Structure 1
Amino acid sequence: MTGQAVQQQGNQSTPQADPGVVVRVAGAADVEAAAALFRGYLDFYEVEVGDPDAPRAFLAERIAKDESLVLLADAPGSGTVGFAQVYRAFSSLSLTTAWILNDLYVAPSGRRTGAGRALLREVLRRAREAGVSCVQLETAYDNTVAQGLYEAEGFVREQFHVYVHDLGGAGTSAGA
């Protein structure tokens, strides 16, 4: 991935969509910044990580192997404040490609800057450009702030239940 920056113009009628937020693809040089945000995301979802370097190693591997799209958001005067991670998938029901927005996080210092909205819009823009049929995500039932953002940007709550069978792996699943 290239680390190329994209200026996010946002919706001028939405005060949270600051046109100064820049969203860029994370490359190998961005792993430390992305990992710091990833650790904040894991803390937000109360995921205990035994090895403090595991989040960094996980992201570094995803980026190096091009297994996910990792985006970073830079807010004016605040630096890199948010990240999103997208996995490519397939939808058997629609016989098409789908994307899973697995992680979206904005550090407390970057909240209310429009960084989350800018990240979300950039994921959707890239998905449309790639011909993806849909972008899926999940979030905690009590994360009403994120739910409000997702619904304001056109996401619709599905009527499916999500089930997980923990196989005792190293991590715990958490959604965007």
Structure 2
Amino acid sequence: MHIRKATLQDLDIITPLFDGYRQFYRQASNLEGASVFLKERLTNKESTIFIAFYDREETEAVGFTQLYPLFSSVSMEQMMLLNDLYISPAHRGKGIGTLLINSAKELCLSLKQKGIVLQTETTNPAQQLYERLGFNKDPDLHYFWAR
């Protein structure tokens, strides 16, 4: 496996993975919309995306994670939101999620940030992975307002 940060030149590589991620969460496929969304995030430097490749030659992208910046007013520190984590179904259970999350942790440590927040459905089996990698459930973070 090979993990690296995505650049704007990787848009065609990450778009189908991002579309697959959205479909996992019961959204209709929308490759054009996914491409526009990711292009805006990368162009405006609003997120960091790590891509997992099956090999060092980068012939097959098999997963990604996307992180957004957050700030804690109480601690006056920056932190990250691990918003998206997706592994192609054929490659699940091979440690790719661990590698992607560890890449996010390394970035967090290198930037001296407070930590990483993540949110997922309560039925998502990836919760076991998050807990195994040191994430703790936070009962204080359970409100959401929607328009």
TM-score above 0.5: yes
Moved more, 94-103 or 155-164: 155-164
Answer whether contact 1:101 1:135 (CA < 8 A) is retained.
Answer: yes
Q: CA deviation at 1:59?
A: 0.4
Match of 2:26 in 1: 46
Residues 166, 78 of structure 1: alpha-carbon distance in 2 compared, 3 angstrom cutoff: same
Deviation per CA, 1:95-151, whole angstroms, max 9, x where unpaired? 21111011111011221221111000000011000000110001110012x111111
What does the per-residue CA deviation read over 1:61-92, in whole Å, with 9 as the maximum and x for residues that have no partner?
11111110011001239721001110111012
Aligned counterpart in structure 2 of residue 148 of structure 1, from 123, 128, 131: 128
* More helix as a share of residues: 2
What is the rounded CA distance, in whole Å, between the counterparts of 1:38 and 1:63 in structure 2?
A: 13
Matching residue within 54, 76, 79 for 2:60? 79
What's 1:12 paired with?
A: none
Q: 2:38 is matched with which residue: 39, 51, 59?
A: 59
Q: Which stretches of structure 1, 4 residues or more, deviate above 4 A after TM superposition?
A: none
RMSD (Å) for aligned C-alpha atoms: 1.6
Q: What is the alpha-carbon distance in structure 1 between the residues aligned to residue 102 and residue 128 of structure 2?
A: 14
* Cross-structure match for 2:73: 92
Show the counterpart of 1:101.
82
Are the equivalent residues in 2 in contact too, given 1:73–1:81 (CA < 8 A)? yes
SS of the residue corresponding to residue 53 of structure 1 reads: helix
Superposed displacement of residue 93, structure 1 = 2.5
Shift in Å, 1:161: 4.2
The amino acid of 1:156's aligned partner reads N
Aligned residues: 145
The amino acid across from 1:141 in the alignment is T
Contact 1:75 1:113 in 2 (8 A): no
> How high is the sequence identity, in percent, across the aligned residues?
32
5+ unaligned residues in a row in structure 1: which ranges?
1-20, 168-176
CA contact (8 A) 1:63 1:69 kept: yes
